[in-house]
Structure 1
Amino acid sequence: MSVVAVPGSKSVTARALFLAAAAEGTTTLRRPLLSDDTDGFAEGLTKLGYAVEREPDRWRIEGRPAGPAVGQADVYCRDAATAARFLPALAAAGHGTYRFDASAQMRRRPVAPLTDALRRLGVDLRHEEAEGHLPLTVTARGIKGGDLELDASLSSQFLTAMLLVAPLTAEGLRIRVTGLVSAPYVEITLAMMRSFGVEVLREGDTLTVPPGGYRATDYDIEPDASTASYFFAAAALTGASATVPGLGAGALQGDLRFVDILRRMGAEVETGADATTVTGTGRLSGVTVNMRDISDTMPTLAAIAPFADGPVRIEDVYNTRVKECDRLDACAENLRRQGIRVETGRDWIEIHPGTPIATEITCHGDHRIAMSFAVAGLRTPGVTFDDPGCVKKTFPEFHEAFAAQRRAWGV
């Protein structure tokens, strides 16, 4: 058995930063993820006037339920979708003029479902260039609240942003949700809101959030389940064993369900109270899976799919086309260049068995493409990457950590 140290969850860290900023009092976050995305989020809070004190394994945030401490700010969100979608909602609850911009990659990604929702609640905001995209200026005068219908078919982050800001509104929010993807991420949001003192009432597709704000707390960040998928997949691929402590039966993150797919493909999986272990058995079976709820792990499965003994078909993952890149096309493109037969549709990809040849992987600036094909590279010596540094978004030390793990496994 090999114990793998996985850094903190990006999704949990981003939500915790928002909640800490919105809460009354000082919150301590323990073992947060330090990556380009979370650094950008924390920097955005600082620009908005929140006091953020950072040590390597402990961050302290002084909350301000009334909103940003400054009346004007220019926030650069880098490549971070969480910052670009959460921080404008937080700013809208305050009073002032706040501009949000981001990298060219993030500018291409949509924010329209969020900004449409804020506008319907009376928030004054303006897209400076392309409608529904950053850059964006929010002229904030607080949010009254009320009833809202929200389309979450492109990303659950739009719903999360509105849920997180709801306790800061005057009347609370009653949100009717349509087309939800990545539903487990919303469960993370609801559980974390509960930890900060807010209980959300759920009735069918409607979520009701009371006003009244949050209370500060000490909060432990669990390891990132999406990142753990690379080590679990590597174990299944090579016949090794990987144990990730901190991700057990009570884990918040739905992406841990990736191990259920590996089990179906033939790996041995043991999930305990506070750890999960995957052990490869020397074979991988073909499988058809719906990954709508765990779509961030789609590239992980796609990259190792050629080593299965039958086709691997991944369905209901249209939203991966509007991530850091079009991940369906990026996976298909790289697999085809490796000599693998691949078919794709609007929301699916089917990958046939084969022996990938060594080639340079085109990362499209996407951390998940780079890390996924690094896993597959365990069975394809000579694979290189056009942009290996793009992993800084969520796991800056990935290549070093993965190389060390490979040596520990002797593969």
Structure 2
Amino acid sequence: MNLENSPFKVQPLLTFDKEITIPTSKSHSNRALILGAVRGENFKVRNLSDSTDVTNLLNAFKKIGLKIEQSGSTVTFLNSFPDCEKDSVGNVIELHTGDGGTTNRFLIALLSRGKKEYQIFPTEKMSERPIEDLINPLKKLSVNIVHNVSGDSKTPWITLKGPASMYNTTKLEIDCKKSTQFASAMMLAFSKIPLQFEFINLHASEAYLKMTSMVIKKSLESNSYTIPVDFSSLGYPAALAALMGRVLITNCHELDMYQADSVFIEVLKTSGATCSFTANGLEIKKGDKLNPVTFDVSTAPDLFPTLAFFAAHVDGVNHFSNMEILKFKESDRLQEMTNLMKTFGVEMHYSPIEDVLTITGSSQKKYQQSTIKPARDHRIVMAAALFMTKNAGGELFETDCVEKSFPKFFTLLK
């Protein structure tokens, strides 16, 4: 069902008690896919995520000449990039890449190793998100890149032509202030080439760089890589369970410390919820009394919308610091979440000077029924749905965009 531009009626729940499976990680998936493209040699990626970020990357791979066999959630790479360019059609290749940060940024770095000209047409807000800190190091490798900043959707956002050359340098500086995805993109695309990197302004999302290093290491040790569950997706049912009852996530049997959002399990424990790994999966139960949260958002920025929902329902003052990184996501998530919480009547205060947000939550207050037209940002949409589910329900727009990370999210709420 196409839910775009149609209101979706979210029904309130009195309790939440479910046994579910959750999606696998798109962060792991896209990293493993880039490595598969570089390696070829029948390299397999198992348990692949079915998010649109991942399917868009696979579709781009097929257009650039990569031969991939897919059986269920397993893909096998029969050839590699850039050798596969001889099997692609035309000297200028148009790629329609969706709105995924890893999809677009990882792909740009990979394509810089090829000889053909590639034109990239993303969707949504991707063309407005930062990219200069990936373009600059690629230009130092003699890659010809044109960045269209006009916003004209008929003109390629990025046009590039390699191949990247190490003639002038074997060490590159990568600025990570706005995203560590630039560093990961370069590490993955050049993983078989003796190119060194120096990361500067590494103040947020460092766990994702550690994930990249780990995926590269494991792909060299084995000819396959198995994708773990997605702890970003896990946060939504976990938050509902901690506030409203219980959830058993049957396909989650261990923490993945390389996913920044796995810290949510520790946040829930500290707050007073029960979280335990059992033979049947990860079980999360409501605590008798939940304590407010103190959290450095720069360590796991994608977790903030879920944490804000949780905080709004916990008695006391919750503190969130280092919020600036939220401005560079699919939307300005600080602005979008404060707008969302104002709509529901959540008590909060943001200090731009200190870059600190406080949310004064209540376990007794019932937030009002609302009609929400959020930004087309999957995490904002899902956070809005959590508010509605926990409280009085409502109508929610832009619900189709959850397919970016959690295609069956709204089935979970029924």
> What is the TM-score with the length of structure 2 in the denominator?
0.86
Alignment of 1:9-408 (within 5 A): 9-66=25-82, 68-69=84-85, 70=88, 71-130=91-150, 135-144=157-166, 146-169=170-193, 171-197=194-220, 217-249=223-255, 252-271=258-277, 275-346=281-352, 347-354=355-362, 355=365, 356-403=367-414
Q: Aligned partners of 1:236 and 1:183: how far apart in 2? A: 27
Seen in structure 2, the aligned counterparts of structure 1 residues 299 and 243 have a Cα distance that, compared at 3 Å, is same
SS class of match (1:49): coil
- 1: CA distance between counterparts of 2:203 and 2:137? 15
CA distance in 2, matches of 1:124, 1:274: 52
Q: Secondary structure at the match of 2:116?
A: strand
Ranges in structure 1 where 5+ consecutive residues have no aligned partner: 199-215, 404-411
| Count of matched residue pairs | 384
Shift of 1:275: 4.6
| In 1, Cα distance between equivalents of 2:136 and 2:195 | 18
Superposed CA deviations along residues 274-304 of structure 1, whole A, max 9, x for unmatched, are 9533211143222221121211110001122
TM-aligned CA distance change 1:278 to 1:128, over 3 Å: same
**Aligned AA for 1:142?**
A
Q: Which amino acid counterpart does residue 349 of structure 1 have in structure 2?
A: L
Aligned residue identity for 1:139? K
- Stretches of structure 2 that go unaligned for 5 or more consecutive residues are 1-16
Alignment RMSD (CA, Å)? 2.3
The answer (yes or no) to whether the contact 1:243–1:275 under 8 Å persists in 2 is: yes
1:371 counterpart letter in structure 2: M
* Distance change (3 Å), C-alpha of 1:156 and 1:259: same
> For each residue in 1:75-127, what CA deviation from the matched residue of structure 2 results, as whole angstroms up to 9, or x when unmatched?
11111111110111101112111111211411111111111121122221111
Hey, what's the Cα distance between the residues in 2 that align with 1:65 and 1:396?
A: 30
Secondary structure of the 2:172 match is strand
Partner of 2:374: helix, strand, or coil?
A: coil
State the distance in 2 between where 1:120 and 1:393 align.
33
Q: What secondary structure does 1:37 align onto?
A: helix
Q: Are the aligned partners of 1:79 and 1:106 in contact in 2 as well (CA < 8 Å)?
A: yes
Name the SS for the 1:75 alignment partner.
Answer: strand
Q: Which amino acid aligns with 1:323?
A: K
The answer to whether the 8 Å contact 1:321/1:328 transfers is yes
What is the SS of the residue equivalent to 1:44? helix
In structure 2, the partner of 1:204 is: none
Cα deviation, 1:15-36, whole Å, max 9, x if unaligned, reads 1111100104012222211121
Q: Is the 8 A contact 1:313 1:351 kept in 2?
A: yes
Partners of 2:280 and 2:257 lie apart in 1 by: 8
Q: Which amino acid letter does the alignment assign opposite residue 310 of structure 2?
A: I
Seen in structure 2, the aligned counterparts of structure 1 residues 242 and 91 have a Cα distance that, compared at 3 Å, is same
Q: Distance in 2 between matches of 1:312 and 1:134?
A: 43
TM-score (norm 1): 0.87
Change (3 A) 1:160 1:292: same
Letter in 2 for 1:350: T
- Residues of 1 paired with 2:230 and 2:250: CA distance? 10
- Is the Cα contact below 8 Å between 2:180 and 2:202 reproduced in 1? no
Which stretch of structure 1 is more off in the superposition, 354-363 or 246-255? 246-255
Q: Deviations over 1:353-411 (max 9, x none)?
A: 243211123330111112123223332122321211111111222101332xxxxxxxx
